[in-house]
Structure formats: structure tokens, C-alpha cells
Amino acid sequence: MMIVGINGSPHKDGNVAYLLNVALDAAKEKGATVYVEHVCEVLKGQKKSYCDACSSPCNKSCFKGTLLEESFKRLNEADAIILGSPVYFGTVSAQLKAYWDKTRALRTEKLLLGTIGGAVAVGASKFGGQETTIKALHSMMLIQGMSVVGDGASEFDAGHHGVCGVRPAKEDISAIKRAKILGIRIFEETQARQ
């Protein structure tokens, strides 16, 4: 079982990465293999940092032979994906949006159809747009045909939309707890399908 965390923050070691790793560590403790993709690194070297729908269906010309192609191969191999983003004006970061827009090639081939997905969002304040960001993350995954779950698990509670954190995430006890539960839920859902 492989679970991939997508860090949509421009900060490789920031708040989103921290909570993603908490979730992934919980899944790893259950037996999953985990991997973190840092979107800020994966997008390096892109001639066009965003998708402009240059071909339909997508001919993959913008990312052939790049780190983005390698990243998409990992997504295709993943049993589950956790998307993480900081809150930027109530929604996802530009980096994550640019990355995900380029997954239209995966959508055309239905490569993420049925893949389990969960979400993590971190804002600057307690009511700083985390839930609207999580809903955007859910929409991104649902349009790929993914099966989206919240941060509830059988041994805890039914949960909510996903992990809503406040920076600094290392001090957000509630978000750390919810991230652990999300990691366990992602593991449980993936295991139930195998």
C-alpha cells in the first residue's frame, strides 16, 4: 500500500508539510509505504508553470521528461493521496492549483478513479478559510473520480471535512490529533479495498 502526500505549500518544511507528515506517519505505523511530493520542487523546470489546455486531450508535452512526469507516475501508483495546502484567500495555493491542473492527462486516462483521498489545510487564524480550502481540495479530487474521506476513523469519531490547522501547526494540538486520525482513516479505507 502506498500513500502519497502532496505538499501544496511553497515551503518544503512549513506548516502544511508538518501536518501531512503527521498523517503519513500514522499510516506508516499501520504498515503503509508513504511518500511526500513537494509541489514547489516538482514544478521546477516547467516552461509553463500553469496549464493552458494547449491540447485536448492532453498530450503531456509540457511535462514529458520532467520531475512532474515522475510525480504523476507516483500518483498513478498510489493507493491513496492526501492533498495539503495553505489557505490563500480562502482557497488553495497557486502552486498546488498549477500542479493539479496539469493532472488533466491523468483524468483523461482515469488513472486516479477510485483512489482514496483526504485533505489538509492550514491558515493563519482559527477561522481563516481552512474549510473552504478543504472543499476546494475535495472538488479537485472528486473531479478526478477519487473517493474522498474526512478525518474520522472507526476507533475515534466520524470526523469532519479534513484536517484544519492553524499556524504554527506544531503547536496546534487539535490539528495534530486530526492529522493522525486522517492517516489512520486513509489506511483503513485503502486496506478495505485490497
Where are the domains positioned within the chain?
A: 2-193
Mean pLDDT, all residues of the chain: 95
| pLDDT surpassing 90 at residue 103 | yes
**Length reported for the chain:** 194
- Please report the pLDDT score of residue 45 as a whole number: 83
Question: In 3-state terms, what secondary structure has residue 87?
Answer: coil
Residue 79: pLDDT over 90 = yes
Place 50 in a pLDDT band, splitting at 50, 70 and 90: confident
CB within 8 A of 59, min separation 6: which ones?
Answer: none
- Amino acid identity, residue 172? D
Fold category of 2-193 in CATH: Rossmann fold (3.40.50)
- pLDDT tens figures, 163-178: 999 999 999 999 999 9
> Which amino acid does the sequence have at 55?
S
Give residues with Cβ within 8 angstroms of 16, minimum separation 6: 7, 8, 9, 84, 85, 86, 120, 121, 122, 169
57: pLDDT confidence band, cut at 50, 70 and 90? confident
CA-nearest of 141, 164, 149 to 27 is 149
More confident residue, 151 or 53: 151
Residue 25 has pLDDT above 90, yes or no: yes
Find the distance separating the first CA and the last CA of the chain, reported in whole Å.
Answer: 9
What's the pTM value of the predicted model, to 2 decimals? 0.95
- In terms of pLDDT, which residue wins out, 55 or 39? 39
Q: What is the mean pLDDT of residues 133-149?
A: 98
The type of residue at 166 is V
R_g of the chain computed on alpha carbons? 16
Q: Strand 116-123 and strand 163-166: pairing?
A: parallel
